[in-house]
Amino acid sequence: MKKISDKTHFKTVIVGGGIVGAGIFRDLVLNGVETLLVEAGDFSSQTSERSSKMLHGGIRYLENMDFPLVFEALHEKNLWLKLTPHLAKEVPFYLPVYSDAKRPLWMIRVGLYLYDFLSSFKNSPFSMKTKNQTLNDITGLNPEGLTGSGVYFDGIMDDAKITLEVIYDALAEDHAHAMNHTKVVNVRKINNKSTLTLKDEFTGIETNIIADQVVYALGPFTDTFLKQYDFYHWQDVLLPSKGSHIWISAKDLPIAFPIVMTPQDEFGDRVIFVIPHGAKVLVGTTEVPNKDDLFHVLPTEEEINYLIKNLNSYFPKLDIKKEKIIGSFAGIRPLVREGSSTGDRGKTSREHKIFQPASDTYVIAGGKYTTFRVMGREVTQKICHRFRKSYNRDKTESPLRRPSVIEPFEWRLPSEADLIHICETEMPKTFDDLVKRRLSISTRAIWNENTQVDFDEFFTKHHSIINKYFHVTSEDVKNFL
């Protein structure tokens, strides 16, 4: 990370190091604007690492008539499949259809054709499968009442890694700076400029910096943060939606392809994805109001039971129990309210909105992960023009220049040299940063699914290296995860 301790004035400061802030950061610096990215925790440590791990157009948004959003998302999906093949790949998604389904096979066929059409036929083409073909392809699927399935193509990904590599790519430019574990603790207006007070999480040292332009990309924290400052005159704009997921070992749920479950129950017209990721399978998501602390969101017992119940209705012979869960997580979707609506979160638009509460300040909220690159263009273009920089929207179509040491689809046990390289180049500041986001391991059980090497033994063996960077004791390692 670049040293910026002596620098107190920046052309632009972005507050929020999730995928949206990262995308705007890269867009600005590739267009020649000096920019500082500030994140209170680790980059991508909140909503942007708690998605369904998909780059997708949003097939269920077709029923909401969100055709422009689906069109944009499909084209972005296919772009990122090309730009980051080590972090994202296209796979077939099976949509089983049962005799009592709300959408019969003919309707599924029409929807999948429309999905491919909106991709400008850049998707791999959809197909329809008979009952026997579907049962042959999807191990353990419930045959009772099954009439067939539709198969379409979307992308699966490592969400945290894409965010990190977008930031790394921006940092290849000399006028790009980024600080994680640095909290904005105060904002003041002095001589019509924004002065932000930054506090280092570890040292407690506070620094004042001046920003000509400020961009807030705070996701679910938008309302809470901005309402602290009277001069923004901020009113709540978010309709937070909690989504929970569980991980199941591939040994207990041995499916080769993702499937889309469409239960009709007390949660409304939901979609649940069941997606293989190597040695584990992701199941999610829910969509409920959040009652937790935004920084510490966890799945509820009700949500976990809901996912398990639907999993067993589709795979009754596998008899998946809660004891088979090897990991779980929850995140908050920062949906933007439509007027004063507090209604159905599943039908709330995933479109983003941009606000300007002060002449030098932009706020971006809403949207979906897949469209992050194009979401902030209105902001970046205005900032570039303000600084008399030409704006080229195509610059962000270039490949990312610095891949992660550990890649999700070719996961391997890191060597001592790998650990040193990660610690010195990938900006982790805590042991949590290292294991969860740089090594992509969120629980001990998931570690065990990936390797036969004992977690404690591995990190105790490399304790001297790790302790050099994070001051972690052997006891800390034993208590981790």
Please, what are the domains in the chain?
9-48+160-237+347-397 (3.50.50.60), 87-156+239-336 (3.30.9.10), 411-479 (no CATH)
- Token reading at 259: 């499937």
What's the CA dihedral at 390, 394, 397, 401 to 10 degrees? -30
Output the pLDDT for position 343.
55
User: pTM for this structure?
Assistant: 0.94
Q: CA 165, CA 163: separation in Å to the nearest integer?
A: 6
Q: How many CA atoms lie within 13 A of 196 on its CB side?
A: 30
Q: Is the dihedral of CA 427, 431, 437, 438 positive or negative?
A: positive
- Token reading at 224: 């809470």
Helix (H) or strand (E) holding 276, with range, is strand 272-277
Helix ranges restricted to H, 322-371: none
Output the pLDDT for position 1.
43
For helices 159-170 and 19-30, what crossing angle results, to 10°? 20
Output the pLDDT for position 450.
87
Output the pLDDT for position 238.
92
Question: Mean pLDDT of residues grouped by 10 in the chain (481 residues)?
Answer: 69 97 98 98 95 94 90 97 96 96 94 97 98 97 97 97 98 96 96 94 96 97 96 93 95 97 74 95 90 84 95 95 95 82 56 93 95 95 96 95 93 94 95 95 91 90 89 81 76
For helices 105-118 and 67-83, what crossing angle results, to 10°? 60
Question: Hey, is 168 helix, strand or coil?
Answer: helix
Of the chain, the percentage scoring pLDDT greater than 90 comes to 81
DSSP secondary structure string for all residues of 408-457: GGG-----HHHHHHHHHHS---SHHIIIIIIS---SHHHHHHH-SS-HHH
Output the pLDDT for position 471.
82
